[in-house]
Amino acid sequence: DVKVTQSSRYLVKRTGEKVFLECVQDMDHENMFWYRQDPGLGLRLIYFSYDVKMKEKGDIPEGYSVSREKKERFSLILESASTNQTSMYLCASSLPGRAGYTFGSGTRLTVV
């Protein structure tokens, strides 16, 4: 069964910390995405990548960066965590031009 694995289900970090959220897929997908999900706001795209070492800003990239050194791994970095980054973070992958995204189970991040 194809999988997208997010390293943590729950994470609690302090304000100002640098936070790494890891996402690994085993489907040899070119496309990978990071979304955040907040009540009443739905899913919002933070960053995405169509290839190794390639990244594109989504709709809300401020305060975030990403890294894609290997095809299967896409990391989301919060440079200096703030309380307004408390959210559910969802990673997804897909093949170019093909049907549907495969999502990970999500990481619920709380910044205190």
Partner 1 sequence: SQQGEEDPQALSIQEGENATMNCSYKTSINNLQWYRQNSGRGLVHLILIRSNEREKHSGRLRVTLDTSKKSSSLLITASRAADTASYFCATDYGNNRLAFGKGNQVVVIP
Q: Choose between 35 and 64: whose C-beta lies nearer to partner 1.
A: 35
Size of the site for partner 1 (CB under 8 A): 28
Q: Which of 75, 104, 109, 111 binds partner 1 (CB under 8 A)?
A: 104
Residue 97 touching partner 1 (CB under 8 A): yes
- What is the amino acid identity at position 25? Q
Helix (H, G, I), strand (E, B) or coil at 64: strand
Task: State how far the Cα of 67 lies from the Cα of 49, in Å rounded to an integer.
Answer: 9
**The residue type at 107:** T
DSSP designation for 104: -
**With respect to partner 1, which residue has the nearer C-beta, 72 or 103?**
103
Please choose, out of 13-21, 65-73, 74-82, 85-93, the segment that lies near partner 1 by the rule CB under 8 A.
Answer: 85-93
Q: Pick from 40, 69, 83, 84 the residue near partner 1 by CB under 8 A.
A: 40
- The answer to whether the beta carbons of residues 106 and 89 sit under 8 Å apart is yes
Distance of CA 92 to the CA centre of its chain: 7
Residue 4 in the binding site for partner 1 (CB under 8 A): yes
Phi, psi of 70, deg, nearest 5? -130, 155
The pair of structure tokens assigned to 95 is: 């093949």
Residues near partner 1 (CB under 8 A) are 4, 31, 35, 40-43, 45, 48, 50, 58-59, 88, 90, 92, 94, 96-106, 108
